[in-house]
Amino acid sequence: MFGFPQSLPPRPEHAGESEQAMLPERDYERPKPSNGVLRHALDGESSTTCFQQLRVIPKVTKHLLSNPVFTCIILAACMEIAVVAGFAAFLGKYLEQQFNLTTSSANQLLGMTAIPCACLGIFLGGLLVKKLSLSALGAIRMAMLVNLVSTACYVSFLFLGCDTGPVAGVTVPYGNNSTPTSSLDPYSPCNNNCECQTDSFTPVCGADGVTYLSACFAGCSSTNLSGCSCLTSVPAENATVVPGKCPSPGCEEAFLTFLCVMCVCSMIGAMAQTPSVIILIRTVSPELKSYALGVLFLLLRLLGFIPPPLIFGAGIDSTCLFWSTFCGEQGACALYDNVVYRYLYVSIAIALKSFAFILYTTTWQCLRKNYKRYIKNHEGGLSTRLEGVVSKFADDTKSGGAVDSIEGGEALQRDLDRLENWAITNRMRFNKGKCWILHLGRGSPGYTYRLGDETLDTSHAERDLGVSVNSKLNMSQQCAQAARKANHILGCIKHG
């Protein structure tokens, strides 16, 4: 809310009505009759009006989606939301597996760090757009920069994590057995008599530095987690375990770094939301803005919130090393391959962010090549306080060429188009009422030229650096002017 100005700028008087009507006029927008004579007729038209509104929706939707800027910016927003919806949905579980955190600790850390930073990023994004008075081109550049920085943060996540470590019967064999990795089994002769269940697991860390799926699988015969027969590499009196996985070296430092980068990534990534909405609003006609926002939120839910958790979940399940079972049915995953988990989980997010950057780049290319085609009603241009000053910058700008054929006229028109695009890119504009075309020579074909959307008028004379020239290259005006000036000076001397 703090990003809105105190008052909206007035609509230019020369702004024409939009070519596309949003929906047919509704009954409650029409003048009400002063008596009840027409009440029955109006009631009879209500069903037709409703049908017309439903019938025009596909046409309006097609009209919006045919705009490449609108389509690309919506898909880019969907990709950004997909990263948030998919990555954040499993982030708590990711912290548990990678850094051996409890569920409560992981959720508390996320609530205290990532979420506040994301809220701050949304606020900063709106503040920057307002303070810098960004046009649509400026907003898309900001979105591209923010996307690149946040993607770099995700790339750093590939190197911030902990290994799975040795797990008896899953990644390493029990004791000194030389069992092949493909034939590993959590059941071993040392725990066969324990009747260990696989419906739930409580990992423990043995004195030998190996993680066991539970105290039962470690062969512990006492409730105080001692006398564990599967710990054959240590003396019997030291064959004890403690609750939890065995810690990995350097894991704590990696977690602190991950937390800091996550805060920065959440804040910077959220800064792209406001520029995206600004571009979306400026690229549609005023009467289509509310419907365009409806299309945006619909696609965000269909593409940004539903598929990503399924994709991330399927990828995470593929990294499972050992599944729990309940009554012969597969249950939840008991152990993941942390390295593969990390690479796959983060790579999906990087792929989505990269696709969003491609869409942002496509949007930027469309706006850069033809700004006025996609930005409606001059939105995102100069403020009214600057128009009068900046419009004077081009008073002495001239472009010329030898035009004796159609190709020559087209070449000069292309120069004028490039000049207009340059002015738009630099947030300037020509005072087109003072722009003229002077056709020199009797053989000039007299083509019509335009600057932007306006046709330029023809001039019959041009004065430049004190020299007046007409369309026939006649210097008589200059001579007459010089004579008048000389006579004036002589008169002043005579009466001096």
> How far apart, in Å, are the Cα atoms of 201 and each of 56, 186, 194?
58, 12, 15
Whether residue 238 lies inside any domain: the answer is: yes
Q: Do residues 356 and 406 both lie within one domain? A: no
Whether residue 33 lies inside any domain: the answer is: no
Give the model's pLDDT for residue 398. Answer: 61
Q: Are 168 and 230 in contact (CB under 8 A)?
A: yes
CA–CA separation, 447 and 408 (whole Å): 10
Give the model's pLDDT for residue 14. Answer: 45
Q: What is the DSSP secondary structure assignment for residue 36, as one 8-state letter?
A: S
Block mean pLDDT (10 aa), the chain, length 496: 62 46 42 42 49 77 86 91 89 86 82 87 88 85 92 92 83 66 66 74 83 82 76 77 82 86 90 87 82 88 89 90 79 85 93 93 86 60 41 51 70 80 73 72 70 76 51 55 69 64
Q: Do residues 327 and 447 both lie within one domain? A: no
Q: Is the dihedral of CA 114, 79, 56, 282 positive or negative?
A: positive
Whether residue 51 lies inside any domain: the answer is: no
CB within 8 Å of 195: residues ≥ 6 apart? 216
- Domain boundary among the residues 369, 398, 431 is at 369
CB within 8 Å of 52: residues ≥ 6 apart? 23, 24
Whether residue 382 lies inside any domain: the answer is: no
Q: Do residues 263 and 355 both lie within one domain? A: yes
Q: Do residues 85 and 118 both lie within one domain? A: yes
- The domain in which residue 310 lies consists of 57-162+255-369
Query: Which residue has 């770099």 as its token pair?
Result: 152
- Domain boundary among the residues 201, 227, 247 is at 247
Q: Do residues 84 and 158 both lie within one domain? A: yes
Give the model's pLDDT for residue 442. Answer: 62
Q: Do residues 363 and 266 both lie within one domain? A: yes
How is 49-74 classified by DSSP, letter by letter?
A: HHHHHHHHHHHHHHHHHT-HHHHHHH
CA–CA separation, 179 and 294 (whole Å): 60
Whether residue 316 lies inside any domain: the answer is: yes
**Encoding tokens for residue 143?**
């979105």
- Domain boundary among the residues 339, 369, 399 is at 369
Q: Are 170 and 184 in contact (CB under 8 A)?
A: yes
Q: Do residues 345 and 298 both lie within one domain? A: yes
Q: Do residues 187 and 222 both lie within one domain? A: yes
Whether residue 91 lies inside any domain: the answer is: yes
Q: Do residues 348 and 210 both lie within one domain? A: no
Q: Do residues 241 and 180 both lie within one domain? A: yes
Give the model's pLDDT for residue 46. Answer: 45
Whether residue 49 lies inside any domain: the answer is: no
CB atoms under 10 Å from CB of 325, counted, come to 13
Give the model's pLDDT for residue 187. Answer: 76
Q: Are 210 and 173 in contact (CB under 8 A)?
A: no
How is 62-106 classified by DSSP, letter by letter?
A: HHHHT-HHHHHHHHHHHHHHHHHHHHHHTHHHHHHHHH---HHHH
Whether residue 374 lies inside any domain: the answer is: no
Q: Do residues 440 and 401 both lie within one domain? A: yes
- The H or E element containing residue 457 is strand 457-458
Q: Do residues 157 and 294 both lie within one domain? A: yes
Give the model's pLDDT for residue 19. Answer: 42
User: pTM (2 decimals)?
Assistant: 0.64
The three-point CA angle 420-421-426 to 5° equals 100
Query: Which residue has 């994590």 as its token pair?
Result: 161
CATH of the domain at 266: 1.20.1250.20
CB within 8 Å of 236: residues ≥ 6 apart? 227
Give the model's pLDDT for residue 344. Answer: 93
Domain total in the chain: 4
